[in-house]
Structure 1
């Protein structure tokens, strides 16, 4: 179970790293996947800086937290993903339910559940004592 959770956390971290690289080096390719549009050149800076930086920071904390003895660091991406989920909930309540909103919400819930399970389970494993 612990090895599976560690692999799941590392997979989530790598996925976030791929997102970070995409937003930083090819934001125009990421626009359609994330339903965002940069209307000016400074908008590209927002995609690269805000979204790319966000995904990069989450990937660093997630990958570091997936290492033996470091699971406490998984609290950082869990808290940030909970904040994103709160924003997603506000979006659904104000703008209405859509297929992309359902997909994004489910991905966030699964990531939160896996990372929190890893944080709790790996934090009590014998490897960390």
Structure 2
């Protein structure tokens, strides 16, 4: 079971790092897929810095936790994804739920559960 959990965490970490690379290489295209558009150099820099930074930290720490079997490394990714989910919930409360919002919210909720399970199940080094 721990091996399956570590593999799942590794896949999550790699996926987040791949998204980071896409944001660095082509921020306009990657941002558009996330529903964000850049207007000019500042917008492109923001996508590269803020969004890629978010996914880079989540991916790097999750992958490191999977490789090292260190539960402590999952705390920050779990909090970051949880904060993102909270922001989406606030948007739903303020502006209402739109169909395109459901998918990302489900993904984030599932990720929080997986990261929390990993945080609880892996041995802290």
**TM-score if structure 1 supplies the norm length?**
0.91
Q: Deviations over 1:15-72 (max 9, x none)?
A: 1001101111111211221000111211000000110111111111111111234221
Query: Across the two proteins, how many residue pairs are aligned to each other?
Result: 125
Q: Which residue of 1 aligns with 2:8?
A: 8
Q: Which residue of 2 aligns with 1:78?
A: 78
Q: Which residue of 1 aligns with 2:35?
A: 35
Query: Partners of 2:39 and 2:69 in 1: how far apart?
Result: 44
Which consecutive unaligned segments of at least 5 residues does structure 2 have? none
Q: Which residue of 2 aligns with 1:104?
A: 104
RMSD over aligned CA atoms reads 1.3
Which of the pair has the greater relative contact order for Cα pairs under 8 Å at 6+ separation? 1
Provide runs of 4+ in structure 1 moved above 6 Å: none
Q: Is the 8 A contact 2:6 2:69 kept in 1?
A: no
**TM-score if structure 2 supplies the norm length?**
0.93
